[in-house]
Amino acid sequence: MEEAWAVVLAAGLGTRMRSERAKVLHPVGGQPMLQKVQAVLRDAGFHRQVVVVGHQAEEVARVAGEVPGVILRVARQAEPLGTAHAVLQAMAALDGVVSGTVLVAYGDTPLLRAGTVRRLHEAHRPGETLCTLLTAEAADPTGYGRIVRDPAGGRFVRVVEEKDADPETRRVREINAGLYLFDLAALRRVLPEVEAANRQGEYYLPDAVARLAREGGVETVRLEDAEEIQGINDRVQLARAEKVLRRRILEHWMVQGVTVIDPDTTFVDEEVELGQDTVLLPFTFLEGRTRVGARCRLGPNARLVDSRLGDDVEVQMSVLLEADVGEACRIGPFAYLRPGARLAARVKVGDFVEVKNSTIGAGTKVPHLSYVGDATLGAGVNVGAGTITCNYDGRQKHRTVVGDDAFIGSNSSLVAPVTVGEGAYVAAGSVITRRVPAEALAIGRGRQRNVERWAGRRRSNDGERGAGER
């Protein structure tokens, strides 16, 4: 049975990135660019993949192994001797594969689309074509290998790298897009024949394609959008690719019924999901596996990471990290929901409120200037301004439990572990250290004492001291 494999070249140093991190591990659109390439190949039908590693081999292999739905093998290129040499190492990882097709792609091309890979695969004719090559027309072909064709019939002849090209060849605008589909047996046969006969002294994979072309077995597919095969070699190109991916993501969601007020200042990762009629205001950042319901309004200046929002939620000028927010909640401005924050429907978390590892019941309000940590608040609770749950005793955390419909007065401290019963009241300014029964009023503060005519005596005493000093 024939198999389809993809070989992803990811062994390069990436010196122009000027980074301690391997180039293919730099994130684009919220994922390492290597994983984005792997996911595109998987979505195009190439679930079996060989990743060729070299620089930071163990870390690159680990990241490659985290892509869901990919059957992975790893090959190592100990020395950077060129693309043909890298693919030759991959062939060793495919020793048990007798026949089939092999797609070769680069791990630093995160803008590649699955549809392009599928089109290349569909154009390839097993048993007839030995290699199908993707090409593109570039407005500026600088840095790319040029496609040389037979002047008589336009048949593909070879690829000439720019450093080896003469002035006439450099004027050619058709470039090698760096995506190849080979017959496995043919590729195995010609790879050992490739020589390092170039200025770089490297073994070029296009030279293997040229050998197959002499057998009449090479076809080409023209790519419409040359932007897809843009390689990432430095941080400038990384930023450009990031912008392209962000634009694609936002355009997708706008087509699905999401309003994006200003795409240039809105950032949405690829794994984020958005509901219909949601509105994203400027400087909104949606990261990781964030899920947003319908008719939400997010921003301005909102950052959500790995959070889940129900329908009709509003978040402005706030940060949510791994939070779970029910429908019709109102968050912010300047709220901070930390991991473990769980809000039921219609909860209000207002300005300068922090919630951590806590469950807040339906309709509860924490309007401003409060800290709720390691707590369970029931439904319909009102938490006054300046309230804090004192959850840490210097050694371990303790929980606070507040029953339904309780009222916590402003500037109160609930010293955990402590329970406030249903319908109970806590007087403003109280420090609560013991259980408050249901329907009770708890007052945990010193009795007020008024000293009559104190202010006048103070002014008189101040005057006497001033006269003496003169």
The string of DSSP codes covering 248-276 is HHHHHHHHTT-EES-GGGEEE-TT-EE-T
What whole-number distance in Å separates Cα of residue 304 and Cα of residue 156? Answer: 50
Binding site for acetyl-CoA, by residue number, is 385, 391-392, 410, 428, 445
Question: Is the previous residue joined to 151 through a cis bond, with omega within 30 degrees of 0?
Answer: no
Q: Please name the amino acid found at residue 275.
A: G
- pLDDT by residue (tens digit) across 237-250? 999 999 999 999 99
Tokens of 20: 């301690």
DSSP-H helix ranges across 275-363: none
Domains of the chain: 3-229 (3.90.550.10), 236-442 (2.160.10.10)
Distance CA 266, CA 451 (A): 59
* pLDDT, position 106: 96
**Per-residue pLDDT band at 142 (split at 50, 70, 90):** confident
With residue 106 as reference, give the H or E element that holds it: strand 100-106
Instruction: Report pLDDT for 2.
Output: 64
Q: What residue numbers does the annotated binding site for UDP-N-acetyl-alpha-D-glucosamine cover?
A: 9-12, 23, 77, 82-83, 106-108, 145, 161, 176, 233, 338, 356, 371, 382
Mean pLDDT of 399-419: 98
Report pLDDT digits (tens) over 63-119. Answer: 999 999 999 999 999 998 999 999 999 999 998 888 899 999 999 999 999 999 999
The two three-digit tokens of residue 459, written as one number: 């002014």
252-284 confidence digits (pLDDT tens): 999 999 999 999 999 999 899 999 999 999 999
Rounded Cα–Cα distance for residues 372 and 389 (Å): 6
Classify the C-alpha dihedral 360-363-364-369 as positive or negative. positive
Least-confidence region, from 215-229, 413-427, 432-446: 215-229
Answer yes or no: is pLDDT of 34 > 90.
yes
Q: Which residues form the catalytic set?
A: 368
The burial class, CB within 10 Å (0-12 / 13-18 / 19+), for 432 is buried
Contacts of 311 (CB under 8 A, 6+ apart): 275, 293, 294, 295, 296, 327, 328
Which residues does the annotation place in the binding site? 9-12, 23, 77, 82-83, 106-108, 145, 161, 176, 233, 338, 356, 371, 382, 385, 391-392, 410, 428, 445
pTM of the predicted structure, to 2 decimals:
0.85
**How far is it, in rounded angstroms, from Cα 105 to Cα 8?**
5
Amino acid at 142: T
DSSP secondary structure, 166-223, as one string: -HHHHT--EEEEEEEEEEHHHHHHHGGG----STT----HHHHHHHHHTTT-EEEEEE
Can you tell me the distance from the alpha carbon of 74 to that of 39, in angstroms, rounded to the nearest whole number? 16
Residues belonging to the binding site for Mg(2+) are 108, 233
Residue 222: count other Cβ atoms within 10 Å of its Cβ. 12
Percent of the chain residues topping a pLDDT of 90: 83
Please report the pLDDT score of residue 131 as a whole number: 96
